[in-house]
Amino acid sequence: MDSTRSRPSRFDILFEPVKIGPVTAKNRFFQVPHCNGMGRAYPSSMAAMRGIKAEGGWAVVCTEQCDVHYSGNHLRELRLWDDQDIPLLARATEQIHRYGALAGVELAHNGSYVPNLDTRAIPIAPSLAATRGNFPVTARAMDKADIRAFRRWHRTAAVNARRAGFDIIYVYAGHDMALPAHFLSRRHNQRTDEYGGSLENRARLLRELVEDAKEAVGDTCAIAIRIGVGTLVEAGGLGPRDEAHDVIEMLAELPDLWDVNLTPFEKDGQTARFSQEGFQQEYVKFVKGVTTKPVVGVGRFTSPDTMVTMIKGGTLDFIGAARPSIADPFLPRKIEEGRFEDIRECIGCNICVASDKLSVPLRCTQNPTMGEEWRRGWHPEYLPPKDTDDTVMIIGGGPAGLEAACALGKRGYSVLLADREREFGGRVLRESALPGLATWRRVSEWRLGQLRRLPNVQLLPGNEITAEMVLEAECSLIGVATGARWRDDGVGRAHRVPIPGPAGLPVFTPDDIMAGRLPTGRVVLFDDDHYYMGGVLAELLVGRGCEVVLVTPDSLVSSYTQNTAEQGAIQRRILELCADVQVSTTVSGVEPGAVRLASVFTGRERTVEADAIVLVTGSQPVDGLYQELDGLADGVLAAAGIRKVVRLGDCLGPGIIAAAVHSGHLFARTLDTGLTDWTPFRRENVELGWDLPLPPGSETLRLLGDGATHG
Ligand code: ADP
Ligand code: SF4
């Protein structure tokens, strides 16, 4: 890594140390708590990921939320119910401290946000309340003894957090997810005692939790409040009007740090489709006016100039980041060293959020090493030098081919990267031209920027590669990254065989539309893909004057986007834009001038008039070149000096851009993408628990345990 270059002096302000109560952050880069799908299930993966952030220069690295008690149990996150959980957390703090960062922990109790399906504890809330979502579980109202007990649990967790090595301890009152936030909210809190009614009463618990933590560990640990602002009552905010301002004013000097963001999470973690960099500024800028304590806020900050404006303009003291730190764990160091062109900017797609929602290790469209730090030993900045004599040809410069060429080039391989188009980028170029997806272009831009500085990589745009050309290329390893195309026969999830009667009506695919071949008039858009494509095409077609009837077999529009926290916003937009939206409905046939629809439950059919149908269904690999090379007679490849032909990206398995980038990176690291007989990554097995000490009075269990142990 080139650390000899220096940054322009206007960025120096980002590298000033900032005091947070009894501790000092070495600069203003603050990785705020963020979920990652690893938590307690993949502790070493989580610890290694946090350590990499610290290595990348973040002055503060926080964990995700950490439950203080089994009555507020968020299955995917960390826990600190008692000292049995300390070693797992200490693994993370050790990694964070290795690089001189401060370690923060977000202590949490989810109250009525969680149904406690695992622990079976009846959830607790300020007032009797149904739990979130559709779980048939009701949270009971806490009595005074419960409140005292909760304070005790929180305080004990703070003490154990210090024992685990944390420097900053959060009291979490954000996102409408946490018990202290529920006490603050008129919507959740209908109590008539000293914890309900006036704002002062509703804020009592939050105040007590901070005071308890300060009293217990505040001499050496900073105590932070994380709170959500800027929302209306129906979105789960603090009251009939946004009372967050008043709470922050009331408790202004109480914590050592204010971490302020939007509530609920869908507002805080908005995708680029719905928000710009710095979108939270107008909601949080008041905070510094009411407190002398440092303030951290977020807003998908990737531009160093925007960061400086946030500090100099008096909005923030710390540049908070979750997603930008995932896309580029080395963001601070790159700014510090003036290597701005190396910053791998977050594209705001929320595939990271989806990993957490789906309880799998964090992944990122821009950073293929994310979540793979421990289990595969992948570092986001350092690649092992080449260990074979291969020269590599990659055909296809979409996200898979670009990433493969980039990472192979950095390993020192000699690489040819060819694409038939005059501009590299493949699907990223096409898709980033769709409504709201402009930032996605960063996926190809960053890689092209890196590639242009690698003398051992030769870029060959405007070259349609044939099998003969491959044989003449004098390369020993061939990567075929020729992508995928959308199907035009309707085969996908609802239809495993083609939809009957396609000749009756003009049929369009997303590829047609992205290539500028657009339908006109009344269009049925059949979305059996369920991610972003159907929704953005509907937006595009309405913008071009079409009347769009969106049909989807799922009960929600773009249903996968529930995982990327944008489904509600998308459905709202689609309902506003489209002439009609038919959910739980499939296309059963196509006729001249009409499309036959059928209920997915009853099969009952009806016909809607249409001038065209757009099929957003399955995709097929563009693997003709691969098949041709694979089908060559024995010895032909060897005679051309080719030892292996490998498919990667969408050509191997059509999917999301993140998967294509990961596939390209895997190819660059292992020179293959095939399945292996051995498991190519480390696993962390749970420790069998029979030998652990049991609570008093558990004699029966002890006997059962002995029995199980002895046979
Ligand atoms: P992925 O997501 O797997 O990277 P893309 O569809 O984005 O796939 O990119 C595939 C790229 O391959 C496209 O840019 C396309 O132009 C290019 N391509 C496909 N076939 C050939 C070929 N025979 N020669 C050169 N380029 C090709
Ligand atoms: Fe940003 Fe997307 Fe990566 Fe998340 S997955 S950090 S939103 S680029």
pLDDT in tens, 258-283: 999 988 888 889 999 999 998 888 88
Strands (E), 298-446: 318-321, 391-395, 414-418
Question: Residue 242 in contact with residue 231, Cβ under 8 Å?
Answer: yes
CA distance 455 to 45: 34
Per DSSP, helices labelled H in 646-710 are 657-670, 699-710
Question: Residue 398 in contact with residue 420, Cβ under 8 Å?
Answer: no
Centre of ligand 1 from the C-alpha of residue 398, in Å? 6
CA distance 108 to 129: 19
Q: Any residues with CB less than 8 A from the CB of 18 and at least 6 apart, and which?
A: 24, 25, 27, 28, 59, 294, 317, 318
**Reduced DSSP (H G I as helix, E B as strand, rest coil) percent helix, strand, coil of the chain, to 5:** 35, 20, 45
Q: Tokens in use for 58?
A: 């973040």
The reply to whether ligand 1 has any atom less than 6 angstroms from the CB of 405 is no
Q: Tokens in use for 177?
A: 């997810």
Centre of ligand 2 from the C-alpha of residue 362, in Å? 10
The reply to whether ligand 1 has any atom less than 6 angstroms from the CB of 82 is no
Report strand pairing: 585-591 vs 594-599.
antiparallel
Instruction: Please report where in the chains the tokens 């050309």 appear, as a residue.
Output: 469
More confident residue, 373 or 261: 373
Q: Which atom of ligand 1 is nearest to the CA of 424?
A: 14
- Ligand nearest the Cα atom of residue 275: 2
Ligand 2 pocket test, pick from 323, 331, 564 with the greatest ligand atom count within 8 Å of Cβ, gives 323
Residue 503 binned pLDDT confidence (cut-offs 50, 70, 90)? confident
CA distance 267 to 280: 9
CA distance 189 to 175: 16
CA distance 297 to 202: 24
Average pLDDT across the chain, whole number: 94
Q: Which atom of ligand 1 is nearest to the CA of 625?
A: 23
Residue 237 binned pLDDT confidence (cut-offs 50, 70, 90)? low
| Angle made by CA atoms 614, 620, 621, in degrees to the nearest 5 | 140
Q: Of the candidates 377, 398, 430, which has an alpha carbon nearest to the alpha carbon of residue 658?
A: 398
The reply to whether ligand 1 has any atom less than 6 angstroms from the CB of 621 is no
Amino acid at 197: G
Return the C-alpha torsion angle 141, 147, 150, 151, nearest 10: 160
- Ligand nearest the Cα atom of residue 658: 2
For residues 352-377, average pLDDT: 96
Q: Any residues with CB less than 8 A from the CB of 291 and at least 6 apart, and which?
A: 248, 252, 253, 258
Centre of ligand 2 from the C-alpha of residue 635, in Å? 44
168 - beta bridge partners? 104, 222
- Ligand nearest the Cα atom of residue 302: 2
CA distance 130 to 152: 25
CA distance 428 to 610: 30
Question: Residue 161 in contact with residue 105, Cβ under 8 Å?
Answer: yes
Residue 243 binned pLDDT confidence (cut-offs 50, 70, 90)? confident
**In the chain, pLDDT over 70 holds for what percent of residues?**
94
Query: Which 8-state DSSP code applies to residue 21?
Result: T
Q: Which atom of ligand 2 is nearest to the CA of 351?
A: 5
CA distance 178 to 66: 11
Q: Which atom of ligand 2 is nearest to the CA of 322?
A: 6
Return the C-alpha torsion angle 699, 701, 704, 710, nearest 10: -80
Q: Which atom of ligand 1 is nearest to the CA of 425?
A: 14
Ligand 1 pocket test, pick from 403, 427, 482, 533 with the greatest ligand atom count within 8 Å of Cβ, gives 482
Burial class of residue 662, CB neighbours in 10 A (0-12, 13-18, 19+)? buried
Q: Tokens in use for 311?
A: 């500090």
For residues 290-305, average pLDDT: 96
For residues 700-704, average pLDDT: 57
The reply to whether ligand 1 has any atom less than 6 angstroms from the CB of 482 is yes
Q: Which atom of ligand 1 is nearest to the CA of 466?
A: 23
pLDDT at 445 over 60: yes
Task: Count Cβ atoms below 10 Å from residue 538 Cβ, excluding itself.
Answer: 28
CA distance 36 to 50: 10
pLDDT at 239 over 90: no
The reply to whether ligand 2 has any atom less than 6 angstroms from the CB of 352 is yes
Determine the pLDDT at residue 699.
Answer: 61
Q: Tokens in use for 624?
A: 């003709």
Ligand 2 pocket test, pick from 352, 355, 447 with the greatest ligand atom count within 8 Å of Cβ, gives 352
Residue 346 CA from chain centroid, whole number:
10
pLDDT at 238 over 80: no
Ligand 2 pocket test, pick from 271, 275, 277, 326 with the greatest ligand atom count within 8 Å of Cβ, gives 326
Determine the pLDDT at residue 685.
Answer: 82
CA distance 524 to 590: 10
The closest residue, in CA terms, to atom 17 on ligand 1 is 396
pLDDT at 15 over 70: yes
The reply to whether ligand 1 has any atom less than 6 angstroms from the CB of 650 is yes
Report helix, strand or coil for 51.
Answer: helix
CA distance 694 to 683: 27
CA distance 166 to 240: 37
The reply to whether ligand 2 has any atom less than 6 angstroms from the CB of 326 is yes
- Ligand nearest the Cα atom of residue 325: 2
Determine the pLDDT at residue 84.
Answer: 94
Ligand 1 pocket test, pick from 394, 402, 420 with the greatest ligand atom count within 8 Å of Cβ, gives 420
Determine the pLDDT at residue 694.
Answer: 66
**In the chain, pLDDT over 90 holds for what percent of residues?**
87
Ligand 2 pocket test, pick from 346, 358, 661 with the greatest ligand atom count within 8 Å of Cβ, gives 346
pLDDT at 5 over 50: yes
Q: Any residues with CB less than 8 A from the CB of 35 and at least 6 apart, and which?
A: 64, 65, 76, 77, 353, 356
The closest residue, in CA terms, to atom 26 on ligand 1 is 419
The reply to whether ligand 1 has any atom less than 6 angstroms from the CB of 255 is no
pLDDT in tens, 637-681: 999 999 999 999 999 999 999 999 999 999 999 999 999 999 999
CA distance 189 to 139: 12
The reply to whether ligand 1 has any atom less than 6 angstroms from the CB of 481 is yes
Centre of ligand 1 from the C-alpha of residue 134, in Å? 43
CA distance 521 to 524: 10
- Ligand nearest the Cα atom of residue 366: 2
pLDDT in tens, 23-39: 999 999 999 999 999 98
Strands (E), 263-337: 295-297, 318-321
Ligand 2 pocket test, pick from 357, 366, 443 with the greatest ligand atom count within 8 Å of Cβ, gives 366
The reply to whether ligand 1 has any atom less than 6 angstroms from the CB of 659 is no
Centre of ligand 2 from the C-alpha of residue 324, in Å? 7
Cα–Cα separations (whole angstroms), residue 39 to 322, 332, 362, 366: 15, 24, 10, 22
- Ligand nearest the Cα atom of residue 511: 1
Query: Which 8-state DSSP code applies to residue 142?
Result: P
Identify the weakest region by mean pLDDT among 5-14, 394-403, 417-426, 578-587: 5-14
pLDDT at 580 over 90: yes
The reply to whether ligand 2 has any atom less than 6 angstroms from the CB of 323 is yes
Q: Tokens in use for 444?
A: 């190809």
The reply to whether ligand 1 has any atom less than 6 angstroms from the CB of 431 is no
